[in-house]
Amino acid sequence: MRERILIACVLLLLALPALAAKRSSYDVDYLVEFLPAEKVAAVTISVRPGTGMANSFDFRMDPRRYTQIEGDGTVERDGDRLLWDPPATGGELRYRYRIDKRRRGGGYDARITEHWTIVRGDHLIPSAVVRTTPGADSRARLRFKLPEGWSVDTPWKLASDGKSYVIVNPERRFDRPTGWMIAGDIGIRREQLDGMEVAVAAPRGEAMRRNEVLAMVHVSYPELQAAFGKLPSKILIVGAGDPMWRGGLSGPRSLYMHAARPLISENGTSTLMHELVHVITRIQGTHEPWIAEGIAEYYSLSLLYRSALISEARYQRGLEWMRNHGRSVRTLRGVRSHGPVTARAVTLFAELDAEIRERSGGERDLDDVVQALMKIRRPTLEDLRRAAEDAIGAPSKTLQSRVLD
């Protein structure tokens, strides 16, 4: 009996921290109002204590983009840092964010017009270091105040009230809306794919091929799942024509693609598939840019083949195009992965896939390596080599290539 009591006490003590962390929380409400005439978004961040409390926020806010900042409690600006200490009973921080933003070389990657806007949530609400009571986590909701006739979509699911979005990021205690958003006089097509919602949205009148994009995702969905495992609960794909940037950009659970981009390029790759791979794997090129870009571009080609969207002959011609395009590259170890470097990385991953299949007797392939890297998120070359060795059972010969010196 005494042993049973002792075991029960130990189990209770082990459970207490988790229970306390679960109970300790504070509320954050985000209100975004789009003001087309001023080309800004008016943002209000409301904080209320619950079983926990947020004592201070340290935001990064570029003074050129974040203006008219005011709030309850103490608000101080130090260069691009914004320090906010809300009252103990809760309070609001209010500011305006200038939306229009051009990329180097031309084209907007964020824009607001009289009729619509495309912008990233992680720009509307920038990252912050938050000091809280021990173990406190946020419970966050996002609401919009829209001009008459506008609608909105985000990468997040609607709450039961049908008016706000539930923001949950298990990797962060401070939940904030991230990823692409679109609002205005927009057209949206949606589809449910085995538990994953896919939404394709663009301003009305833009030549965005919503149904074709949905069809392509629908056809490739089984291979995306086979390659990468569990997929996000929702992916939002937004697009528009000129003067938006004529490329593709991924974000958390979302991506942007220019309306004129072909779904399948002449070399057999796909901007849509490339960005979807970034969205799903979330592998980042912090340490080795070529790893993230090479994986995305390789799978943009191979997933089309695996989904029977291109023939084997076209797939092989695509690999040959990559070999020729990356022929002059002497090393992949650089600060960024531009066209030829990415092409050389594609051929390296194709060779690695072939090596894994051969040396594992067909039991393993590159998918196993990528799924291992997905858990790391910011892989190094050594992480890649270890993942390949785990799949092969011995060090990879491909990953001893001179281009990795």
**How far apart are alpha carbons 317 and 265 in whole angstroms?**
12
Q: Which residues contact 398 (CB under 8 A, 6 or more apart)?
A: 348, 351, 352, 355, 388
**Apex 246 CA angle, 276 and 214, nearest 5:** 40
**How far apart are alpha carbons 258 and 180 in whole angstroms?**
13
**How far apart are alpha carbons 208 and 187 in whole angstroms?**
9
pLDDT along the chain (405 residues), means of 10: 47 45 82 98 97 96 97 96 97 98 90 98 96 93 97 94 89 91 97 94 96 97 96 96 96 96 94 97 94 98 97 97 96 87 97 98 97 97 98 97 94
Contact 300, 270 (CB under 8 A): yes
User: How far is CA 285 from its chain centroid?
Assistant: 13
Q: Is 26 helix (H, G, I), strand (E, B) or coil?
A: strand
What's the pLDDT score for residue 16? 43
Tokens of 153: 């979509």
Contact 337, 287 (CB under 8 A): no
| Number of neighbours of residue 103 by Cβ within 10 angstroms | 14
**How far apart are alpha carbons 254 and 236 in whole angstroms?**
5
**How far apart are alpha carbons 384 and 14 in whole angstroms?**
36
**How far apart are alpha carbons 115 and 39 in whole angstroms?**
11
Residues 29-68: pLDDT tens digits? 999 999 999 999 999 999 999 999 999 999 999 999 999 9
What's the pLDDT score for residue 20? 44
What is the domain partition of the chain in residue ranges?
26-219, 262-404
CATH of domain 26-219: 2.60.40.3650
What's the pLDDT score for residue 22? 54
Tokens of 358: 């051969």
Contact 61, 80 (CB under 8 A): yes
Q: Is-cis flag, bond preceding 177, omega within 30? A: no
Contact 337, 289 (CB under 8 A): yes
Per this entry, what is the length of the chain? Answer: 405
